Structure 1
Amino acid sequence: MEKQKPDNIVYSDVEGYNAYLLPYATTVGAPVIKTDNIVAWKTRGIHQVNREFEDKFSQLKEQYQKLMEEYEWNDLVYNSKFSFEPVIGEIYHMYTSNDGTNFLSLIGPHEWNKEHIASFKLNSDKKWIKLELSNAIFPNI
């Protein structure tokens, strides 16, 4: 007759005594092995990463909107009428003429009675920068 092992000993004919390899407790005195509940950790991680992606997307969306606004203003200026070569750094003003076309001028909005659209400055990259003119620059506006 074969020697039998007691019930409380973990033994396998293939593995031998392998209690230390098992993912569960094998004796009454062994510590309880609990699997961590990582669902909450994953959920917090997902929310944090999604928030970061949403913030980055919002920033990119805002940058895109600013870029499109700059493009539209530059398109408007370059398609307006002017018969001079603009000087970099000089302030120019866009007006609507009587026939409805837009034109650039050096004359400020306070100096004549034309419909003023916007004021611009040409930078070294040949990009028109729209200026927010205040009363400090043109007190009679």
Structure 2
Amino acid sequence: MKLHQPVWINADVLKGPNSNEEPINKTTFLMEVNKKYPYVTLSLGWTTSYWSSRPSEKYSWESMDEMLEIVRNLEQRITFPARAALVRESWDRFLWLLEQSNRYSLTIWSSQTDRASTEDMVFVRDNFDVSRIFYDVEDYLTDPLMAAIS
């Protein structure tokens, strides 16, 4: 099958903040994607959880190192999905990872139950190349975000 539009394929390949959920098998996933769809953008992320009622962990330096090892030799464009409620506290780590290649971008996403902050998303936008930041956020964040960046 020939694709005629940009396609992103997402998978959580590492365990991330606050999560007990096991990631998928990264080796099998990457082998299958490379075999069937070698030109897609890979959206490779972390399993995460968020509870507004208790302190949350950050994305760790160790997980950033692990992610770099996974993506370093891939040829595709890579976007790293970052949970909106956790991205600001981990910004130094994401910035380091993103600076490793101009093929890397960030997709800030949210869940309905998250207490994500528009200010945190604007902070990221103000501190990085806007052409390499994408948003996949809940409706309650869309209007305030658009107003803040206009």
TM-score (norm 2): 0.24
TM-score (norm 1): 0.25
More strand per residue: 1 or 2?
2
Q: Whose relative contact order is higher, 1 or 2, with alpha carbons under 8 Å and at least 6 apart?
A: 2
